[in-house]
Amino acid sequence: MNNNEFIPLMVPDIRQEDIDAVSAVLRSGMLVQGAKVAELEAKVAEYIGIKNAIAVSNGTSSLYLALLALGIGKGDEVIVPAFSFMATANVVELIGAKPVFVDISIETFNIDIILIEKAITRRTRAIIPVHEFGLACDIKEIICIAKKYNLKVIEDAACAFGATEDNQYTGTFGDVGSFSFHPRKAITSGEGGMLITNDDELARKLRALRNHGIEIKDGKTEFFLTGFNFRMTDFQAVLLISQLTRLNEILEYKDKLAQAYFTGLQDCDKLKLPLVPQNKKHTWQSFHVVMNDDIDRDALIIQLKERGIGTNLGAQCMPFQKFFIEKYKLNCSKLFPNAMKAYLKGLVLPLYGLLDENNIRYICSALKN
Ligand SMILES: Cc1ncc(COP(=O)(O)O)c(C=O)c1O
């Protein structure tokens, strides 16, 4: 991309081969869930090394189905980080349970594991740890806490398809993992989501719940549950299959651009760079920095836009948003100081395959100026 052109926050890298693959499906006339969805599920399961992958309509419906399939509902509490995209807390509320918010680390933007046990009550049924911006949270320690208190773990890996902790893929640690294929993710189908699990019975329920409760047994259709239509289409699936073949290349390139940001901003004392622990592989869904308290982040977004650079805030302090603040009336500055700081001072910089290191240098110098 030319530095004289506007550099948007994100442009999906859809190539001719992806378009050709989608065109072929469109010409086939098969426009709903079919063989291509099944092929994608098999390929994702093989890539991740998991028994079951279940494609769904997006990363919100996937979280909702996970809660439903695990039997979580009215009267239950579910622990979520205070800082994430709203979907993480919305699904808990929509299922009839209560989201219990826990503050994050301001260095990794992931849930602060030290605070989790204090948030557990006799009503707690599950934890939804988020791998924020594509960096694995301290998932192994979270699994230990969950085992101790007999809690289910739904990994919200919406941004973290391909991320690892100790070489193990995010989404494979808990009872179930959830991914999103929204256009800001490493590979995209426009809208799209995926659930993964090694639990065959849970997978059976999830498959039925996304498709009206249907199961085909001995060639006969049985509606053994009440379900939704949360299906992915075959043309979305084939778009993902096509990009999946270059996922490793995409992630490596994104890491190279992230390193260019680290180099370009290392001497900038007006912001804090993200921390990436040694044992974790980041997918860089977002390169998220935190501006110093004296910087007006919103004014900075406008100034950068005037210089031809698209940036945005990273995610929300969820309990601070209108619905939750009115319902639970939590003192967010006191209870979630790091989530509030990330929400008010966090800034996401452009990072995607259509950019090069020259663009990153340009963005760094504009930011520093
Ligand atoms: C952490 C997190 N969870 C859930 C979602 C919801 O995914 P989708 O937009 O595919 O519904 C997102 C979306 O970006 C997300 O960032």
Identify the residues whose C-beta falls under 6 Å from ligand 1: 58-60, 84-85, 87-88, 130, 156, 158-159, 180, 182, 193
Is residue 226 within 8 A of residue 208, CB to CB? The reply is no
Please give the helix or strand (H or E) that residue 169 lies within, else none: strand 168-169
42-74 pLDDT per residue, tens: 999 999 999 999 999 999 999 999 999 999 999
The residues near 132 (Cβ < 8 Å, ≥ 6 apart) are: 81, 83, 84, 104, 108, 109, 110, 159, 315
Whether the model clears a pTM of 0.85, i.e. scores above it, the answer is yes
Ligand 1 pocket: which of 180, 195, 312 to mutate (most atoms <8 Å of CB)?
A: 180
Residue 1 has pLDDT above 90, yes or no: no
User: Which pLDDT value is given to residue 41?
Assistant: 98
207-234 pLDDT per residue, tens: 999 999 999 999 999 999 999 999 999 9
Assign 3-state DSSP to the chain and report helix, strand, coil percentages, each to 5. Answer: 40, 20, 40
Token pair for 332: 């967010």
- Three-state DSSP class for 11? coil
| Confidence label for 345 from pLDDT (cuts 50, 70 and 90) | very high
Averaged pLDDT, 238-245:
98
- Three-state DSSP class for 245? coil
67-95 pLDDT per residue, tens: 999 999 999 999 999 999 999 999 999 99
Atom number, ligand 1, closest to the C-alpha of residue 58: 10
109-153 pLDDT per residue, tens: 999 999 999 999 999 999 999 999 999 999 999 999 999 999 999
Is residue 241 within 8 A of residue 46, CB to CB? The reply is no
